[in-house]
Amino acid sequence: MQRRVLLRIMMAAVLGSCGIKEQSAKGLKITVVGAGIVGASIAWHLARAGALVTIIDAIGPASHASRGTFAWINASWAKQPRHYHALSQEGVSGWGSLQEELSLPIRWGGSLEWFSNPERDRKLLDQIAEQVDWGESARMVNADELAVMEPNVNFHGALLAAFSGNDGAIDPVRATNALLDAAVNMGAVLRTPCKLLDISLSGNRLHSVETSLGTIPADRVVLATGADPATPKIIAGVDVPQRSTPGIIAITAPMPKLLNRIIVASGIHLHQREDGRIVMGEQDGAPDDQAHDMRLEGRPNTFPSPDMAVQHAARMLSIATKYVPGMAGVNVDDVFIGWRPLPLDGHPVLGFSPERRDVYLAIMHSGVTLAPIAGQLTAHEVINDIVVERLEAFRPGRDFETVKRY
């Protein structure tokens, strides 16, 4: 049996065992704050279960990380330790189910990764062996295979690369909007621009949320507010320590098909979407100097001038062209600075606030990969007021250690 089919069956079993009871959702008023890909998935799962959902966003759908993301769906070697990797696997297989249900344009086909650094590439061999042990369809492929798999890519003499067969990539803005549309079709209300300002209690239970568009009655509120550090602190009384880092995403004009898979090369990540556009994600962060520190203050999503955006696009395109010569001369249509919602330990934050019992937090990196499973499990906990055991390691009240990983 193919691995993806097996994963789908496992996913169906997980969904079945969750058994969201529509009865318990009936009449339950839930406000989801944040219309990025995570909030959209949560809203859709809640609406599908029968809750009365209002989604609000201070700016609009997919306006922050869910726009400026590379959108690689994966459970790769970097997803450590095992329990986080397992959650990521559930995210990957969850996209398979969502793709069918919502007709989403996901490019499957796997990823190819290598480091152009002999020592690092040797370590990759061990990491891929571990991936196999953990149930991934991963293997090392040699130069001859690489040439067949990606005839338009120059691997610069790499003898081996890691092929992770389950990986895919998505258009995150389309996916977010598709989830929101599906939620609205099930009765959810989407209100933007609408900023959450405060909550009102009746006794010790949530009564309503106060927003820039007025009061919204609510029994529960879910904060899917991404990298914004303030909202969880003010509303949930929880300080989720984040080390949000910026990353530039540049998207070309549509091109004839050049790439079959996600290319994870030294200095640049690339994938080609169904619409023919190639997405470039830079690997190195901004230089560590005062000029950049000043420019990045306030976490801008755009560059101070169009010229600067053009310069960054040209720099990324010149790296990309080294690997994919056919990209030479293509126009870059969009350049965006994304800020990673990145809890200090690199792991998602999922669970009710230890301080405010009706306020649930859903803040995470790799939120594109995790959106389906995060949406499903959040809806389950929020509606049924129960505890999903395998989320225990990801609670907001944990001690956050500093780890350098995404």
Ligand X SMILES: Cc1cc2nc3c(=O)[nH]c(=O)nc-3n(C[C@H](O)[C@H](O)[C@H](O)COP(=O)(O)OP(=O)(O)OC[C@H]3O[C@@H](n4cnc5c(N)ncnc54)[C@H](O)[C@@H]3O)c2cc1C
Q: What is the nearest approach in angstroms of ligand X to the Cβ of residue 323?
A: 17
Of 153-161, 270-278, 293-301, 335-343, the window that binds ligand X (rule: CB under 6 A) is 335-343
Least spacing, CB of residue 24 vs ligand X, in Å: 25
Nearer to ligand X, 129 or 319 (CB): 319
Choice between 223 and 330, CB closer to ligand X: 223
Which structure tokens are listed for 403? Answer: 């780890």
Query: Would you count residue 231 as binding ligand X (CB under 6 A)?
Result: yes
Strand segments (E) across 35-171: 52-56, 72-73, 106-107, 111-113, 138-142, 160-164, 168-170
Which residues have CB under 8 Å from 177's CB, separation 6+? 40, 61, 62
361 contacts 242 by C-beta, under 8 angstroms: no
Closest residue to ligand X, based on beta-carbon distance: 36
CB closer to ligand X out of 58 and 258: 58
Nearest to 95 by CA among 375, 393, 390: 375
- Contact status: 72 vs ligand X (CB under 6 A): yes
Residue 87 near ligand X by CB under 6 A: no
Rounded CA-CA distance 38/335 in Å is: 22
Report if residue 166 touches ligand X, rule: CB under 6 A.
Answer: no
Place of tokens 């330990």: 345
> Which of 175, 177, 173, 207 lies closest to 190 in space, CA to CA?
177
Enumerate residues 236-265 that contact ligand X by CB under 6 A.
247, 249
Residue 372 sits in the site that holds ligand X (CB under 6 A): no
Q: Does 158 bind ligand X (CB under 6 A)?
A: no
What is the smallest separation between the CB atom of 23 and ligand X, expressed in angstroms? Answer: 29
SS3 category, 206: strand
Q: Does position 95 bind ligand X by CB under 6 A?
A: no
CB of 78 to ligand X, least distance (A): 11
Q: Which of 109, 226, 343, 351 binds ligand X (CB under 6 A)?
A: 226
One residue of 20, 38, 47, 53 binding ligand X per CB under 6 A: 38
Number of Cβ atoms within 10 Å of the Cβ of 253 = 12
CA 101, 106, 107 angle in degrees (round to 5)?
145
The residue (of 231 and 323) whose beta carbon lies closer to ligand X is 231
Alpha-carbon span 199 to 208, nearest angstrom = 6
368 CB contacts (<8 Å, ≥6 apart)?
A: 37, 66, 69, 71, 72, 73, 170, 172, 175
Distance of alpha carbon 84 from alpha carbon 341, whole angstroms:
16
358 sits near ligand X (criterion: CB under 6 A): no
Single out the residue of 7, 28, 30, 33 in contact with ligand X (rule: CB under 6 A): 33
Considering the complex, what minimum distance in angstroms separates the CB of residue 148 from ligand X? 26
369 binds ligand X (CB under 6 A): yes
CA gap 285, 81 in Å, rounded: 24
Q: Which amino acid is at 219?
A: D
From the CB of 269, what's the least distance to ligand X, in Å? 7
How many Å apart are CA 369 and CA 96, to the nearest integer?
11
The reply on whether position 195 binds ligand X by CB under 6 A is: yes
**121 lies in the binding site for ligand X (CB under 6 A):** no
| Neighbouring residues of 361: CB distance < 8 A, sequence distance ≥ 6 | 222, 223, 232, 236, 238, 240, 349, 350, 351, 352, 353, 396
**199 sits near ligand X (criterion: CB under 6 A):** no
Q: Classify residue 304 by burial, with Cβ atoms within 10 Å: 0-12, 13-18, 19+.
A: exposed
Which range, of 46-54, 55-63, 123-131, 198-206, touches ligand X by CB under 6 A? 55-63
Q: Is 365 in the site for ligand X (CB under 6 A)?
A: yes
Exactly one of 11, 20, 25, 36 binds ligand X (CB under 6 A); which one? 36
Number of residues in contact with ligand X under rule CB under 6 A: 41
**Residue 168 lies near ligand X (rule: CB under 6 A):** no
Side-chain half-sphere exposure of 9, counting CA atoms within 13 A = 5
Query: Which tokens go with 264?
Result: 């994870």
Choose the stretch contacting ligand X; rule: CB under 6 A; options: 8-16, 101-109, 153-161, 221-229. 221-229
Q: Is 75 in the site for ligand X (CB under 6 A)?
A: no
Q: Across 278-389, where does the E strand assignment appear?
A: 278-282, 332-339, 349-352, 359-363
Minimum CB–partner distance for residue 41 and ligand X (Å): 8
Q: Which residues bind ligand X (CB under 6 A)?
A: 33-39, 56-59, 63-66, 68-72, 195-196, 224-228, 231, 247, 249, 281, 338-341, 364-369
